[in-house]
Structure 1
Amino acid sequence: MTRTAPLEQDILVLTDTDGTEIPVPVRRSARARRMLLRVDPVRGGPELVLPAGARIDAARTFATRNLGWLRARLAHLPARTSFVHGAVVPILGREHVIRHRPDQRGGVWRVEDPGGSVELHVSGAGDHLARRVTDFLKGEARRTIAPRAKLHAATLNRRVGRVTVRDTATRWGSCSSRGDLSFSWRLVLAPEEVLDYVVAHEAAHLVEMNHSDRFWALVERLMPDYSRPRAWLKRHGSKLHAYG
């Protein structure tokens, strides 16, 4: 029989039928209208969101009732890939193997062998390796996204304001009323056509700040076969948050 442990330090511990304990962080939200049990692909774990006035015993009952759903979602979370020596990281559709080179200088650089495999060499101390790889990927995202955004905007007779990259959790891209575009740097980990689709999507918002038929006609004008990368992002996008 499934049971729950008392709530301590904003953590609700659920005990599954096989004895496995699943700690579920609890967060109260003034904006929440109902209890919500979710799995955050960025953090790689569950979260229970409660309205401000929700009772803890009701939260236990709700979480326990949805334990089967939670178990299934956790089982399907993509495995995390840390930026360490030997890890394989996809960059625009090509796999790169991280190689720590503590004896070298120069930050991060690519090395491609005649057979076509690519390595990402990282100099410096080991405790700086993950940060250096992340900074490298952010730089690659900026260099890849900015010119594409300007090209798509020019096709639509629009001008782009600032183009920034961030580590966003809920959006792959956004467009402000001023024409500034912002993107998740993790798009550089996706196939190239997926990154290009998101850039085209946000460029279309420079004309239509909605998702009307007119908007999607603009996206199709910029990228006629956008349905394929759009489907890829829906199916595999959570995997991009499992790196680093």
Structure 2
Amino acid sequence: MAELIQLGHPPIDVTLKHSARARRLSLRVSGVDGRVSLTLPRRASMREAQAFLLSKEDWIRKHLDRQPDATIIAPGATIPVEGHPRLIAETKTRSVKLMADHILIPPGADKSGARVRAFLKTMARDRLVDASERYAERLGRPFGKISIRDTRSRWGSCTSEGNLMYSWRLILAPVQVLNYVAAHEVAHLAEMNHSAAFWHEVSQLMPDYEAPRKWLRTHGGGLHHYQF
């Protein structure tokens, strides 16, 4: 069971996790959201954990200092949609509108984040359903339900029942990145693993998948720095 403690001043929240598989203390600073976690062997004591964290405090703070600042979604902020930067601007409109270089939103800055998030989630669902249907037809395998979430540990998943899940933040990435994730998850309908056979299916669905895969591994964490 996870436990939260604080380290130093100003305090840093650290999540402690005991693991039967762990052989030593393992520290991690997430490149996605800056969360700090410490995994301990089951028999490790709180005193050991605190002493270890104190010895690593400077290292933790250096990593946190390198984390990019979050972008708060509000008028005047810029956010990518399908990989293209768009400036958020208030105007006399009743609904959110996507333009070539802008996202137009109704007046009311306190609701900006919620309005833009709802718009992008709907847009993401439409694009991901379309891509999933296209690749599933090419593969010759049907899928079940599609769900859209705001996951931090994965961009998509496929269950043994054939249900697909995607992160709506993929709509912020270039179009080919969203398509790659859809092709990746649909390929699991044929191969529920990451074997050579699986990657062959991915390459059949999307021959140029390597470039968007690399983009996601390099830049994907930045998609979580937009706060709605």
Q: TM-score, normalised by structure 1?
A: 0.83
Partner of 1:24: 13
- Counterpart-to-counterpart distance in 2, 1:44 and 1:164: 26
TM-superposed deviation, 1:234: 0.9
Secondary structure at the aligned position of 2:99 is classed as strand
Partner of 1:85: 75
Contact preservation (8 Å) 1:37, 1:49: yes
Partner of 2:94: 106
Partner of 1:115: none
Q: TM-score, normalised by structure 2?
A: 0.89
Q: State the identity %.
A: 38
1:135-179 residue CA offsets vs partner (Å, 9 max, x unmatched): 111111001110110110111111121112100110100001111
Give the aligned length: 224
**Distance verdict in 2 for CA 1:226–1:68, change over 3 Å:** farther
Secondary structure at the aligned position of 1:174 is classed as strand
TM-superposed deviation, 1:30: 5.7
Contact preservation (8 Å) 1:32, 1:50: no
Unaligned stretches of 5+ residues in structure 2: none
Secondary structure at the aligned position of 1:165 is classed as strand
Secondary structure at the aligned position of 1:206 is classed as coil
Higher RCO structure, 1 or 2 (CA under 8 Å, sep 6+): 2
Partner of 1:175: 158
Unaligned stretches of 5+ residues in structure 1: 1-8, 16-20, 113-117
Aligned partner of 2:47 among 29, 40, 57: 57
1:168-212 residue CA offsets vs partner (Å, 9 max, x unmatched): 110100001111110000111111111111111001000000000
1:193 aligns with 2:176: yes
Aligned residue type for 1:12 = Q
1:194-240 residue CA offsets vs partner (Å, 9 max, x unmatched): 11111110010000000000000111111111111111111111101
Aligned partner of 2:105 among 118, 122, 133: 122
TM-superposed deviation, 1:68: 4.6
Contact preservation (8 Å) 1:200, 1:222: yes
Tell me whether 78-87 or 64-73 shows the greater mean CA deviation. 64-73
1:43-101 residue CA offsets vs partner (Å, 9 max, x unmatched): 43323344555322211222233335423432332321110111111011111111123
**Distance verdict in 2 for CA 1:32–1:124, change over 3 Å:** farther
Contact preservation (8 Å) 1:24, 1:48: no
1:156 aligns with 2:168: no
Secondary structure at the aligned position of 2:97 is classed as strand
1:11 aligns with 2:1: no
Secondary structure at the aligned position of 1:24 is classed as strand
Partner of 1:5: none
Aligned residue type for 2:8 = L
Tell me whether 88-97 or 205-214 shows the greater mean CA deviation. 88-97
Contact preservation (8 Å) 1:14, 1:24: no
TM-superposed deviation, 1:11: 2.6
- Counterpart-to-counterpart distance in 2, 1:172 and 1:82: 22
Secondary structure at the aligned position of 1:241 is classed as helix
Contact preservation (8 Å) 2:7, 2:54: no
After superposition, the CA RMSD in angstroms is 2.1
Aligned residue type for 2:47 = D
1:206 aligns with 2:203: no
Partner of 1:39: 29
